[in-house]
Amino acid sequence: MREAQLGAHTLRSHGMTVARTHMHDWIILVLLVILECVLLIIHPFYRFVGKDMMTDLSYPLKSNTVPIWSVPVYAMLLPLVIFIFIYFRRRDVYDLHHAVLGLLYSVLVTAVLTDAIKNAVGRPRPDFFWRCFPDGKALYDSLGDVICHGDKSVIREGHKSFPSGHTSWSFAGLGFLSLYLSGKIQAFDGKGHVAKLCIVILPLLFAALVGISRVDDYWHHWQDVFAGGLLGLVISTICYLQFFPPPYHTEGWGPYAYFQVLEAARVQGTANGAMQQPPQVDNGEEEDGGFMGLHLVDNPTVRREEDVETGRG
């Protein structure tokens, strides 16, 4: 039944209709982008940094092994390319739309939470000493707090250690991709094909290596990386499950909306077939689709998908 239905709902036939039904989701997504830009401008909290704390904050000031510009490339563009590739294989607009929307929400919600926590905590980075005192000459006030004389933008960035943005973005984007791929290849179908796990683990391994590089570059403490990875992984899982069944589910290969449309079509076909049948002799029981007096409650989601099918949504 799955293969027979694939290709019936494409971008050209249902793309705009599906997007309109999720218009409020896209509007909130734009607001998240604006909020993230505001958080990047906000000045972080400058916490007290005493001389006795410099032991853990005097690591060398190094460049990034993983450049900042590359994070959106592998965390967002790479999954989007894979989603588009799968769409051209299956022609399922629901799968493409929900995968893209879920990925964007996963990354943006993670980004907003990460930068909000960064600004509120203001934890110094492991290389803070050299950001604060680029000439190596430490200076403290009467209370023992640092008096930095380095570049203001470098010092400001030095107060954004917790949690790791590289790591949270990586696990938000690649964690979502890992869940998506595990559903598509049915990695947990109970048939024991362990080789499928290599495909599922690969994005997570890359995200973990990015996190390790942040510690190796002395831009983050290990706690920052752990918290960032946990945050990204939790948010990506929540966003994925909003649109797709769990990967171990028998219907984990497709989005909820796809199966709702199939169910709506089946119900409509059954109703049309019943109308064409000749009248039957009344045996004293109601022929209303109930079973032993039990009835299913009308599903508003199914009705909404029927509107999508007919273009009324």
Q: What is the pLDDT of residues 45-90, one digit of tens each?
A: 999 999 999 999 999 999 999 999 999 999 999 999 999 999 888 8
pLDDT in tens, 85-121: 998 888 888 889 999 999 999 999 999 999 999 999 9
Signed CA dihedral, 184, 308, 295, 288: sign only: negative
| Total-model pTM | 0.80
Start-to-end CA distance of the chain, whole Å, equals: 25
3-class secondary structure, 77 = helix
pLDDT of residue 277: 56
Signed CA dihedral, 244, 250, 254, 258: sign only: negative
Q: Say if residues 156 and 44 touch (Cβ distance below 8 Å).
A: yes
Considering 97, 98, 159, 166, which one is annotated as catalytic?
A: 166
> Catalytic annotation on 166?
yes
> Catalytic annotation on 221?
no
What are the two backbone dihedrals, phi and then psi, of residue 173, each rounded to the nearest 5 degrees?
Answer: -80, -50
3-class secondary structure, 120 = helix
pLDDT in tens, 220-265: 999 999 999 999 999 999 999 999 999 888 877 878 777 777 777 6
Residues 149 and 160: their CA atoms lie apart, in Å, by 18
Structure token pair of residue 25: 């989701």
Q: Say if residues 76 and 60 touch (Cβ distance below 8 Å).
A: no
Beta-bridge mates of residue 92: 9
Other CB atoms within 10 A of residue 97 CB:
23
Structure token pair of residue 14: 């249902």
Considering 97, 159, 220, 221, which one is annotated as catalytic?
A: 220
> pLDDT-based confidence at 124, cuts 50/70/90?
very high
Burial annotation 142-165 (CB, 10 A radius, 16+ → b, else e): eeeebebebeeebbeebbbbbbbb
Mean pLDDT of 289-299: 38
Q: Say if residues 138 and 57 touch (Cβ distance below 8 Å).
A: no
What are the two backbone dihedrals, phi and then psi, of residue 31, each rounded to the nearest 5 degrees?
Answer: -65, -35
pLDDT of residue 272: 65
Beta-bridge mates of residue 146: 140
**pLDDT surpassing 80 at residue 23:** yes
With tokens 């929400």, the residue in question is 105
CA distances, 191 to each of 179, 224, 259 (Å): 18, 38, 23
